[in-house]
């Protein structure tokens, strides 16, 4: 069994700082569970463009107010405590935090730990050693 607290992670290499959020990575690929799980704090007033083209992300909001806008349809969904969504179609989106927003996020395949968004809002697909995996798109 694995037991961790948020306080165990803050300020460690499992606490990944991005311009608009902190992602505290409770579970990573090296933990061997088949998914990663993050406690993510988005900053009030922030807007983040995201496209998880290599991953499925499921998200459960446990605090704050915000919204997600799907780029393809323009549809906007409010987010608050108790809202769940899953990007099972790798949807490009804007994530906006009206207040500080706390989200519990699950990734499949699991993140390895040091991923940050590239300019397209993408997390790379990495091996457990942090090397970029070749994909059909990168190796046609």
Where on the phi/psi map is residue 74: left (φ > 0), alpha (ψ -120 to 50), or beta? left
Using CB under 6 A as the binding rule, whether residue 23 contacts ligand 9YT is answered as yes
Instruction: For ligand 9YT, give the closer residue by CB, 123 or 136.
Output: 123
Using CB under 6 A as the binding rule, whether residue 21 contacts ligand 9YT is answered as yes
For residues 94 and 47, what is the distance between their CA atoms, to the nearest angstrom? Answer: 7
Provide, rounded to whole angstroms, the least separation between the CB of residue 140 and ligand 9YT. Answer: 28
Q: What sign does the CA torsion over 104, 78, 121, 11 have?
A: negative
Instruction: For ligand 9YT, give the closer residue by CB, 58 or 127.
Output: 58
Residues in 25-84 at the binding interface with ligand 9YT, rule: CB under 6 A: 38, 40, 42, 50, 59
Instruction: For ligand 9YT, give the closer residue by CB, 21 or 51.
Output: 21
Closest CA to 79 of 94, 101, 58: 101
Residues in 90-109 at the binding interface with ligand 9YT, rule: CB under 6 A: 95, 103, 105
Binding site for ligand 9YT (CB under 6 A): 21, 23, 38, 40, 42, 50, 59, 95, 103, 105
């Amino acid at each position: 069994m694995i037991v961790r607290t948020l306080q165990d992670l803050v300020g460690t290499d499992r606490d990944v700082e991005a311009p608009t959020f902190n992602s505290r990575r409770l579970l990573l690929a090296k933990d061997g569970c088949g998914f990663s799980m993050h406690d993510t704090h988005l900053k009030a007033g922030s807007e983040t463009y995201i496209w998880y083209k290599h991953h499925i992300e499921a998200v459960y909001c446990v605090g704050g107010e915000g919204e997600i806008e799907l780029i393809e349809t323009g549809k906007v969904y409010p987010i608050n405590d108790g809202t769940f969504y899953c990007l099972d179609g790798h949807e490009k989106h804007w994530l906006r935090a009206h207040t500080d927003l706390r989200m519990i996020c699950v990734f499949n395949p699991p993140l390895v730990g040091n991923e940050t968004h590239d300019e397209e809002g993408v997390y790379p697909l990495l091996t457990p050693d942090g090397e970029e995996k070749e994909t059909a798109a990168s190796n046609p």
